Structure 1
Amino acid sequence: MLRARLLTAALVVAPLLSGCVGDEPTIAVLVADGGDSSSRVVDLDRLTDRVESTCDECRVRVYDAEGDAATQKSQARQAEAASADVVVVVPVDPDDLDTLAGGDLPVISLGELVPGSDRFVGLESGSLARQTGSDVEAARDIVRGEEKTMTYVPTGAMSDRAADLAVAYLADEPVEGGEDVDGVESWLYSDRDVTVDTLTSVLVAEGILTLDDLCSGDTRKQCARLGLR
């Protein structure tokens, strides 16, 4: 029996794209482990919201493999059997999904490239940064002096891009700005090391967190000493 766990099923009417492909075009999102707080590849809520805001009557179905490659492979077959129109995949093991990318179903890889994918959204560095806790928690650790640096990954922007690419497939529309990486049309983003000197210029400036998030409770006094305001 499949251990697929259906996290999200959305059906929303939005003004920008109407009647993409037949009735209720479906985007299947296969995530490696939705409960892994250290994974910073995809923001499921943001991806779903982006689809809902740009595609009339689109449905998003998110399957959580809970870190198990065999489960994800089964979920890929399940998504195909459920007549998904496009798949966005955050792979547990990219090489284990070659049959998914080898078929007629458009596949967008997110984070790591599944061989044979049609499009890819990832990082220029090629590595997936991990950290314990959220960006807010990591930033507060820096303020307290418990850590010197953190790595900021533009998870939100990457999730938006994956959503836009999926919707473009449904609308049969081209998408500009990609680059060829090993024969795959790709959109690559930069991760950045953040220190106490760049907390506000990077994280606050880009709306990842607010000064109230950073400088409340046990970090208030330290923020004042550091001149963070």
Structure 2
Amino acid sequence: MLRARSSSVVLAVVLTAAAPLLSACMDDEPTVALLVADGTDSSSRAVDVDRFTERVEATCDECRVRVYDAEGDAEVQKSQARQAEATSADVVVVVPVEPDDLGTLTGSGLPVVSLGELVPGAERHVGLEGGSLPRQEGTDLDAARDVLLGEEESMTYVPTRAMSERAADVAVAFLADATVADGEVVDGVESWLYRDQEVTVDSLTSVLVAQGAIDLDELCSGATEKRCARLGLR
């Protein structure tokens, strides 16, 4: 299995949620291919591409991330997986359109990390304890504003930011031939599983704002400004 490209550098690094910078951990710009199911679908909360990229670059200053967006097309994603392999990606992180359609990718010899939905044959997985990602209309901010205005009783919060950062750590660990803490083996796959949370008007700030999912100024602007003031949120 391909790990780091440089045989002259030996790393003994354990990556955690606050992984230290792997400065010059390997040469020749090792590449993480991030295969996204549909970057335009605001209801898909498996990955924060910007957060993932920032995390990879923060933990390995020689690494680069190449993003492929399948735009919801499983055939396109399979083609992109082959392209990632052909262009010498060192590890693939995939948010699958159709998990069962990626057998070619997981049989290619590339390390594969599935994010969100488990891809059969993936070597590592980052997802939710319940297995499937719950769907919602719009972004977390849209959903939170609906709850605040009383248009919805609650929303389901998925810790996309934490999951994206964890997937980035796992990808860099493959490159550095290192390990990541706090994993558990589920159905034979080393996994990092998170819980989604039901959020009501009483927990909007303690969950969403506290965890950086939304900004209080954005939540309490425009049509929700008076409501926030009545509830003492501002």
> After TM superposition, is the score higher than 0.5?
yes
Residue type of the alignment partner of 2:78: K
Match for residue 61 of structure 1? 66
Q: Which amino acid aligns with 1:75?
A: Q
Deviation string 1:113-167 (CA, Å, 9 cap, x unpaired) is 1111110000011121121221111111111111111110000000000000111
**Alpha-carbon distance between aligned partners in 1 of 2:148 and 2:21, rounded to the nearest angstrom:** 42
Question: Is contact 2:27-2:62 (8 Å) kept?
Answer: no
The 2-side partners of 1:209 and 1:112 are apart by 24
Give yes or no for the alignment of 1:157 onto 2:162.
Answer: yes
Residues in 2 aligned to 1:73 and 1:48: alpha-carbon distance in whole angstroms: 22
Instruction: Answer whether contact 2:126 2:167 (CA < 8 A) is retained.
Output: yes
Q: What are the superposed Cα offsets for residues 15-51 of structure 1, whole Å, 9 maximum, x if unpaired?
A: 8223434311000010101111111000000000111
Q: Name which of 191, 204, 219 aligns with 1:186.
A: 191
Query: Are 1:27 and 2:26 counterparts?
Result: no
Tell me how far apart the structure 2 counterparts of residues 20 and 114 of structure 1 sit (CA, whole Å): 28
Q: Which amino acid aligns with 1:80?
A: E
1:75 aligned residue (75, 80, 85)? 80
Deviation, structure 1 residue 225: 2.5
Distance in 1 between residues matched to 2:87 and 2:172, nearest whole Å: 18
In structure 1, list runs of 5 or more residues that go unmatched: 1-14
Q: 1 or 2 for the larger relative contact order (CA 8 Å, sep ≥6)? A: 2
Q: Distance in 1 between matches of 2:50 and 2:201?
A: 29
Alignment equivalent of 1:206, drawn from 185, 192, 211: 211
Match for residue 6 of structure 1?
A: none
Q: Determine whether 1:92 maps to 2:104.
A: no
Q: Residue 102 of structure 1 corresponds to which residue in structure 2?
A: 107
In structure 2, how many angstroms separate the alpha carbons of the residues matched to 1:207 and 1:22?
34
- Separation (CA, whole Å) in 1 of partners of 2:73 and 2:25: 33
Residue 56 of structure 1 and its aligned partner are, at CA, apart by 2.0
Partner Cα distance (1:226, 1:199) in 2: 11
Gaps of 5+ in 2: 1-19
Letter in 2 for 1:62: V
User: Does the C-alpha gap of structure 1 residues 139 and 106 become closer, same or farther in structure 2, counting only changes over 3 Å?
Assistant: same
- AA aligned to 2:206 is S
The separation in 2 between residues aligned to 1:116 and 1:19, in whole angstroms, is 30
The list of structure 1 runs, each at least 4 consecutive aligned residues, that deviate by more than 3 angstroms after superposition, is: 18-22
- The whole-number CA distance in structure 2 between the counterparts of 1:19 and 1:209 is 34
**Among residues 47, 50, 53, which one is paired with 1:45 in the alignment?**
50
2:37 counterpart letter in structure 1? A
Question: What's the TM-score once normalised by structure 2's chain length?
Answer: 0.88
TM-score (norm 1): 0.90
Aligned residues: 215
